Structure 1
Amino acid sequence: MKKITSIVAGIFLAAGVTACGSMAMATAPVKTTDGVLTNAAGMTLYTFDRDAGGKSACNGPCAANWPPLMAQDTDKPAGDYSIITRDDGKKQWAYKGKPLYHWVKDQKPGDKTGDGFLNNQWHVVKP
């Protein structure tokens, strides 16, 4: 009986650890080895100088080129991460109050081709 209890407890513990790990990595940005924030797939994240007060200034055609790092209704911000509401009502991740974006011209993890774009108004995020 003790052996069965230990096995069952081990299964529940493993399931709990797996669930916690997948929740943490689902949408929240992660830090890469070179100190630049990326999404879970390793794509570089950017901020826009025109954003202010936890509000995105990048909508419409801008957001087509700079897709927001979207948050789900179930996501829970923590630490320096927050979630803002965009003009269209959708949720977006922010770091230290600055909304986070991808750049459509970055093709693979580690690309940083948007850094300094538009007269140095777009920046990679370095925590």
Structure 2
Amino acid sequence: MHITSDIYYRFATTVVEAKILNVNNEASEVLFDVTLPDAAFITAFTIPRTSNKFNILVNIQKNALVVFKLKYQELLRRTLGSYHHVIYVDPGQPIEDFEIKVFISEFRDIVKLSVPPLEGKTEI
């Protein structure tokens, strides 16, 4: 799972990419499930904004690889000179190749940047 977030003057564009390989000898259903920030919107799909969950269930043929790619955007609100950008990560299973990249472009100087530890299970 690779997550890339570009923050450009308080406007965040986040891409979540997950590769899922069906190693079974028959087709299997898999669930791609992503939690979005409340103010985010998906640029490639439409979902009701009463929910911040997006999921899709697909059938993958035997020994096939499927790449899921979801892009969403969010305008970050500045409060007292700072803003929070949240990326939800809950793959529901062990992940072999996991990375999160965040790129920030801002007019004002960045005077404080904090990245909290992953909550819950950190074994990936």
- Give the TM-score category using the shorter length: under 0.3
Q: Could you state the TM-score of these two structures normalised by the residue count of structure 1?
A: 0.25
Q: Could you state the TM-score of these two structures normalised by the residue count of structure 2?
A: 0.25
| Higher RCO, Cα 8 Å, sep 6+ | 2
The structure whose residues are more often helix, as a share, is 1
